[in-house]
Amino acid sequence: MMKLALITYLDKGKYASPTAENEDDILLRFLKGKGLNIEKIIWNDQNVNWSDFEYAILKSPWDYFDLINDFNAWLNQIEASGVKLLNPFNVVRWNSNKHYLKDIADAGLNVTPSAFLLKGEPVDLKAYFTHFNTQQLIVKPTVSGGAKNTLKITPENLAEAEQQLHIFLKDEDFIVQPFLKEIEETGEWSYLFFGGKFSHALLKTAKPGDFRVQHTFGGTIIPKTVTLDETKAAEQYIKQFAQSCLYARVDGVYLNGVFHLMELELIEPFLFLETDQNSYERYYQALRNLIGL
β 247-255/151-153 pair status: unpaired
CATH class, domain 115-179, is alpha beta
Nearest to 245 by CA among 114, 106, 92: 92
Tens digit of each residue's pLDDT (9 = 90 or more) over 159-189: 999 999 999 999 999 999 999 888 888 889 9
Q: What is the distance of C-alpha 164 from the center of its chain?
A: 25
Q: Which contiguous run of DSSP H or E holds residue 8? A: strand 3-8
d(CA 106, CA 182): 24
Please state which CATH number belongs to domain 182-288.
Answer: 3.30.470.20
- Tens of pLDDT, residue by residue over 259-293, are 999 999 999 999 999 999 999 999 999 999 999 98
**Domain limits of the chain?**
3-95, 115-179, 182-288
What pLDDT was estimated at residue 112? Answer: 95
* DSSP code of residue 199: E
pLDDT for res 159? 92
d(CA 211, CA 207): 8
Cβ neighbours of residue 289 under 8 Å, at least 6 residues apart? 195
Amino acid letter at 23? E
Q: How many CB atoms lie within 10 A of CB 63?
A: 23
Decide whether 3-95 matches 182-288 in CATH topology: no
pLDDT recorded at residue 165: 92
Domain 3-95, CATH 3.40.50.300 — does that match? no
Distance, in Å, from the CA atom of 190 to the CA atom of 221, rounded to the nearest integer, reads 10
Peptide bond into 87 cis (omega under 30): yes
Task: Give the pLDDT confidence score for residue 214 in this predicted structure.
Answer: 57
Q: What angle do CA 50, 269, 68 make, to 5 degrees?
A: 55
Q: What's the angle, vertex CA 234, arms to CA 149 and CA 58, rounded to 5? A: 55
**Cβ(23)–Cβ(271) below 8 Å:** yes
pTM for the predicted model, two decimal places:
0.92
Instruction: Give the total residue count for the chain.
Output: 293
Q: If DSSP codes are grouped into helix, strand and coil, which group holds residue 42?
A: strand
**Residue 247: partners with Cβ closer than 8 Å, 6 or more residues away:** 87, 192, 193, 194, 266, 269, 271, 283, 286
Please give the biggest Cα pair distance in the chain.
62
| pLDDT tens by residue, the chain, 293 residues | 799 999 999 987 666 666 657 899 999 999 999 999 999 999 999 999 999 999 999 999 999 999 999 999 999 999 999 999 999 999 999 999 999 999 999 999 999 999 999 999 988 899 999 999 999 999 999 998 877 888 999 999 999 999 999 999 999 999 999 998 888 888 899 999 999 999 999 999 876 655 555 555 556 889 999 999 999 999 999 999 999 999 999 999 999 999 999 999 999 999 999 999 999 999 999 999 999 98
